[in-house]
């Protein structure tokens, strides 16, 4: 039987919603097991430079302290992003690359090691130090290779990215409560400014990358493998007669450098322009050794005429609603949008920026359908790692109260993510992925905690259900 | 009572939902999105109800009656609103189908979307009314409420959640069908059944009432399932592989 429309729509969104859900689930499990009521030891990070929250401070003091912490954090993130933009501008690629590798290794080995030790203590797993050390070092090394986009199964790369996001998010949940919530809101606001405002660092990074046709080094989660690009020879469009629906493995994964650092680092996801002439990954995001970490967030929605091109078609149908006669068809859609790629957030050493970017398929006007097909058919939706991290921080913090808040925040975040993806398909430009989800998540958390929890628990203990 | 008990309760409440999900929904991304969307809408309606009645709880017992009536009314209103949203989405999907030269939505597709929407409501209900209470169930002890010394709270909650999950899922199928075909009797059936099931849980307030309350809830679910089954059976014709019935289905959906 012919495949109906239901099978085709929404595949890309699910491809992004699944890893986000898995990351959130892992963080909730970790938080629930290890620190169900918040961390007992305070963690000294950049986010707590100004004010160290104590449990018996007054409401106003906590609020002011949290606000100061958040402002300092956002400023550092912004600074680091500008440094990153500068490095990218002056083409210090090696520097960025080394830094990325170093930070990935740090996250996986150091933070992963701490979490592993805590788990071993909790579950009383019998393991000796030598085995543990060997396993840890190997794990971290493979992880570094995975995010540098060596040839390995994409599931492994995706898995490592999710693990990196989970570790950083777990680290962030150790912050005190007020600071965490204010920080989340501050990062969402910063994200909007950084990506949408003309002078914002991420915006600049995106434009630089577009102008140069390069990839931005960043930690990006890619939902599907993109088409392998031939390094030399004709334009890397798939001249191979693969049907539009198949997945293609990509050779040229752009700089997926982990932008982790202590603290926030935003990395930019490279505008993965399959058309870029140089094949190698370019700049890497560097991070300062002590910078907080952060992933890069960027998402990119690639339009295509193939299976992955559903969103493209959706966007044209949506456009069609507005203009009664839209002459846009699948071939011309790529031409309509300029050939900029989506941007990922720049990896600020301290900041996480998220950006979602819709990539128009190509730049030339004379693309044949094949070319549009090739570029588009990569079909990969990319989401920057910083988005993963902040969503998981929100859900992890919700887990410290009760599981009901976790479910409510999960639904809110996924709803926000879906809305952002739809906006992406409609507006076709770089979009920040944090604001809608974080806002919905915070609102739902407080509504659930204050209103829903007593309501439902009271009904349920009386065995009344509706 | 320990991990096995906790997992057991969770499976009672969500097992059928899980199997429905895996067989019907998991292969189609759009349906997964529908489940998430309708779960979110149910959550919003629940928060609205909570906002309305928070001030009165915990309170006197008589509060529950008006509470249940208003809450069911709100949820049925949300169902009608959801139906209008669904019409827009159906329109959109049909346009999209024409654009990529695929088939338009057939009756089985619509039923699947209805199941997915109902499942979203049902899963959200189970999760919030049962799963979120189950955290203590993983510990070494159990808990009985005063009015029900026969079954632990968790077991009652799990069975009731199961009943309501099935009720929500299949009443959405009935509602979609009734609103599309404009059948009055079925349109009234859904809110009335929902209200009945909710009011029957009031039986649980009586001492020892849960012995009657739980089976009554499950019976409401079975009745709803039977009505929904009959509707689907009629709609897809008595033989699903029959060419004539497929034609009928096609033409019916085109109308």
pLDDT exceeds 50 at position A370:
no
DSSP bridge partners of A381: A301
Asked whether the beta carbons of residue B54 and residue A4 sit closer than 8 angstroms, the reply is no
A417 contact residues in B (CB cutoff 8 A)? none
pLDDT at position A42 is 61
Q: Hey, what are B177's tokens?
A: 């069908």
Q: Is B19 near chain A, with CB under 8 Å?
A: no
Interface of B with A in 151-180 (CB under 8 A): 153, 156-157, 160-161, 164
Alpha carbon distance A77, A172 (integer Å): 15
- At A385-404, the pLDDT tens digits run 888 999 999 999 999 988 89
- Residues of B within 8 A of A13 (CB-CB) are 29, 33
Window from A133-147, A196-210, B60-74 with minimum mean pLDDT: A196-210
**Lowest-confidence pick of A381-390, B78-87, B215-224:** A381-390
What is the model's pLDDT at position A241? 39
Q: Does B103 touch chain A (CB under 8 A)?
A: yes
* C-alpha closest to that of A352 among A225, A466, A226, A187: A187
Most confident of A263-272, A330-339, B237-246: B237-246
Give the count of beta carbons closer than 10 Å to the beta carbon of residue B247. Answer: 11
What pLDDT shows up at residue A135? Answer: 95
Q: Which residue of B has its CA nearest to A7?
A: B28
Label residue A157 by pLDDT band (50, 70, 90).
Answer: confident
- Banded pLDDT at A54 (limits 50, 70, 90): low
Helix or strand (DSSP H, E) at A184: helix A177-196
What sign for the dihedral angle of Cα A194, A196, A197, A201?
Answer: positive
Which residues in chain B touch residue A415, judged by CB atoms under 8 angstroms apart? 36-37, 40
Averaged pLDDT of chain B: 87
Residue A210 burial (CB count, 10 A): 21
Rounded Cα–Cα distance for residues B237 and B245 (Å): 5
Confidence of residue A281 (pLDDT cuts 50, 70, 90): very low
pLDDT of residue A26: 94
B residues 46..65 contacting A (CB < 8 A): 46-47, 49-51, 53-54, 57-58, 61, 64
Nearest to B148 among A411, A444, A463 (CB): A463
* B193–A contact, CB cutoff 8 A: no
Instruction: Let me know: does A146 contact A90? Beta carbons within 8 Å.
Output: no
CA distance A450 to chain B (A): 9
Asked whether the predicted pLDDT for residue A298 surpasses 70, the reply is no
C-alpha distance from B16 to closest chain A C-alpha (Å) = 19
Average pLDDT over residues A452-464: 87
pLDDT of residue A327: 40
Residues 206-245 of B with CB under 8 A from A: 209-210, 213, 217
Asked if the Cβ–Cβ distance from A6 to B113 is below 8 Å, we say yes
Across residues B78-103, what is the average pLDDT? 89
Mean pLDDT of B122-129: 93
Interface membership of A412 toward B (CB under 8 Å): yes
Name the residue among A402, A404, A463 with its Cβ closest to that of B210.
Answer: A463
Q: Looking at residue B239, what is its pLDDT?
A: 52
**A324 has a pLDDT exceeding 50:** no
Is the confidence at residue A22, as pLDDT, over 90?
A: yes
Find the range with the poorest average confidence among A7-11, A266-270, A426-430, B106-110: A266-270
Distance from the Cα of residue B175 to its chain's centroid: 11
pLDDT value of residue A266: 37
Contact (CB, 8 A) for B36 and B117 = no
Residue of A317, A402, A463 with shortest CB distance to B96: A317
What is the arithmetic mean of pLDDT over A31-38?
Answer: 83
Contact between A311 and A342 (Cβ < 8 Å):
no
CA distance B54 to chain A (A): 6
CB contact under 8 A, A404 and B128: yes
CA separation for the pair A184, A188 (Å, rounded) = 6
pLDDT in tens, B191-214: 999 999 998 888 888 888 888 888
Neighbouring residues of B33: CB distance < 8 A, sequence distance ≥ 6:
A10, A13, A14, A418
Which one is predicted more confidently, B133 or A1? Answer: B133
- Count A/B contacts: CB-CB distance under 8 Å: 168
Which chain B positions have a beta carbon within 8 Å of A313's beta carbon?
96, 99-100
- Please give the mean pLDDT across all residues of chain A: 69
Report which DSSP code applies to A261.
-
Catalytic residue among A272, A362, A387, A402: A387
Cβ atoms A309, A246 nearer than 8 A = no
Kindly state whether B133 is in contact with chain A, defined as any CB-CB distance less than 8 angstroms.
Answer: yes
Reply yes or no on whether A402 is catalytic.
Answer: no
pLDDT given at position A229: 42
User: Given this model, what pLDDT does residue B45 score?
Assistant: 94
Under the banding of pLDDT at 50, 70 and 90, the label for residue A138 is very high
Q: What pLDDT was estimated at residue A238?
A: 35
Smallest Cβ–Cβ distance between A411 and the set B43, B61, B164 belongs to B43
**The two structure tokens encoding residue A182:** 């204010």
- d(CA A424, CA A439) in angstroms, rounded, equals 18
- Each domain of chain B, given as residue ranges in start order, spans 2-250
- Stated length of chain B: 255
What pLDDT is recorded for position B254?
A: 54
Active site (annotated) includes residue A191:
yes
Chain B touched by A314 (CB under 8 Å) = yes
Contact check, Cβ <8 Å, A4/B103:
yes
- The verdict on B99 touching A (C-beta cutoff 8 Å) is yes
At B43-66, the pLDDT tens digits run 999 999 999 888 887 777 788 888
ipTM above 0.85, yes or no: yes
For residue A179, say if its preceding peptide bond is cis, omega within 30 degrees of 0.
no
What is the DSSP secondary-structure string of A27-43? HHHHHHHH-TT--SS--
Nearest in space to A81 (alpha carbons), one of A342, A354, A341 = A354
A434-451 tens-digit pLDDT: 999 999 999 999 999 999
Task: Name, of A149-158, A198-207, A211-220, B155-164, the range with top average pLDDT.
Answer: B155-164
Please check the confidence at residue B251 and state whether its pLDDT lies above 70. Answer: no
Please tell me which residue of chain B has the smallest CA distance to A466. B198
Compare CB distances from B205 to A7, A456, A462 and report the shortest one's residue: A462
Catalytic residue among A191, A215, A350, A362: A191
d(CA A356, CA A359) in angstroms, rounded, equals 9
What pLDDT is attached to residue B247? 54
Split at pLDDT 50, 70, 90, the class of B183 is confident
**Record: contact B128-A407, CB cut-off 8 A:** yes
Q: Which residues contact A158 (CB under 8 A, 6 or more apart)?
A: A19, A221, A222
């Amino acid at each position: 039987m012919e495949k109906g429309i239901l099978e085709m729509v929404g595949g890309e969104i699910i491809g992004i919603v699944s890893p986000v859900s898995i990351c959130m689930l892992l963080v909730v499990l970790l938080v629930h097991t290890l620190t169900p009521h918040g961390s007992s030891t305070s963690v000294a990070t950049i986010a707590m430079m100004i004010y160290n929250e104590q449990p018996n401070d007054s409401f106003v003091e906590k609020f002011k302290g949290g606000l100061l912490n958040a402002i300092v954090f956002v400023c550092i993130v912004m600074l680091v992003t500008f440094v990153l933009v500068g490095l990218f501008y002056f083409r210090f690629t090696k520097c960025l690359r080394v830094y990325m590798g170093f930070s990935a290794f740090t996250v996986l080995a150091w933070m992963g090691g701490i979490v592993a030790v805590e788990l071993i203590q909790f579950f009383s797993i019998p393991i000796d130090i030598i085995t543990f050390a060997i396993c840890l070092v190997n794990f971290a090394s493979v992880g570094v290779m995975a995010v540098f986009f060596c040839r390995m199964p994409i599931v492994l790369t995706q898995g490592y990215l999710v693990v990196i996001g989970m570790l950083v998010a777990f680290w962030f949940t150790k912050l005190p409560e007020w600071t965490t919530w204010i920080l989340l809101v501050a990062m969402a606001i910063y994200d909007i400014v950084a990506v949408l405002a003309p002078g914002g660092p991420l915006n600049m990074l995106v434009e630089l990358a577009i102008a140069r046709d390069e990839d931005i080094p960043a930690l990006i989660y890619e939902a599907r493998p993109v088409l392998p690009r031939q390094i030399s020879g004709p334009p890397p469009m798939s001249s191979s007669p693969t049907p539009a629906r198949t997945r293609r493995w990509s050779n040229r994964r752009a700089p997926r450098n982990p932008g982790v650092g202590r603290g926030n680092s935003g990395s930019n996801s490279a505008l993965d322009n399959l058309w870029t002439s140089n094949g190698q990954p370019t700049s890497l995001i560097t991070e300062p050794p002590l910078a907080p970490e952060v992933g890069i967030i960027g998402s990119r929605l690639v339009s295509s005429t193939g299976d992955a091109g559903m969103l493209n078609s959706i966007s044209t149908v949506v456009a069609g609603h507005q203009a009664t006669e839209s002459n846009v068809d699948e071939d011309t859609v790529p031409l309509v949008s300029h050939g900029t790629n989506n941007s990922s957030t720049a990896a600020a050493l301290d900041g996480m920026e998220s950006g979602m970017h819709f990539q128009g398929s190509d730049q030339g006007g004379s693309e044949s359908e094949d070319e549009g097909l090739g570029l588009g058919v990569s079909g990969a939706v990319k989401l920057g790692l910083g988005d993963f991290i902040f969503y998981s921080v929100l859900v992890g913090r919700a887990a410290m109260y009760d599981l009901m808040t976790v479910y409510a925040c999960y639904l809110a975040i996924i709803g926000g993510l879906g809305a952002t993806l739809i906006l992406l398909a409609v507006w076709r430009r770089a979009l920040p992925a944090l604001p809608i989800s974080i806002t919905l998540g915070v609102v739902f958390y407080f509504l659930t905690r204050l209103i829903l929890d007593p309501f439902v628990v009271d009904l349920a203990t009386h065995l009344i259900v509706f | 009572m320990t991990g096995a008990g906790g997992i057991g309760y969770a499976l009672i409440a969500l097992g059928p939902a899980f199997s429905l999900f895996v067989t019907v929904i998991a292969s189609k991304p759009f349906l997964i999105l529908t489940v998430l969307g309708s779960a979110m809408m149910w959550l919003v309606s629940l928060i609205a109800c909570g906002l309305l009645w928070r001030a009165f709880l915990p309170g006197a017992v008589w509060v529950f009656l008006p509470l249940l009536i208003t809450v069911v009314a709100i949820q049925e209103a949300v169902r009608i609103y959801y139906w209008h949203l669904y019409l827009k989405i159906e329109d959109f999907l049909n346009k999209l189908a024409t654009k990529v030269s695929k088939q338009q939505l057939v009756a089985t597709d619509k039923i699947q979307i209805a199941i997915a929407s109902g499942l979203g409501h049902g899963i959200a209900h189970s999760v919030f009314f049962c799963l979120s209470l189950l955290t203590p169930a993983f510990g070494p002890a159990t808990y009985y409420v005063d009015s029900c010394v026969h079954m632990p709270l968790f077991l009652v909650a799990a069975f009731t959640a199961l009943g309501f999950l099935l009720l929500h899922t299949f009443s959405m199928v009935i509602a979609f069908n009734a609103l599309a075909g404009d059948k009055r009797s079925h349109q009234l059936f859904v809110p009335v059944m929902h209200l009945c099931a909710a009011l029957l849980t009031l039986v649980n307030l009586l001492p020892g009432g849960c012995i009657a309350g739980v089976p009554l809830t499950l019976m409401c679910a079975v009745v709803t399932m039977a009505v929904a089954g009959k509707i689907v059976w009629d709609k897809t014709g008595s033989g699903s592989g029959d060419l004539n019935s497929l034609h009928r289905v096609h033409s019916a959906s085109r109308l």
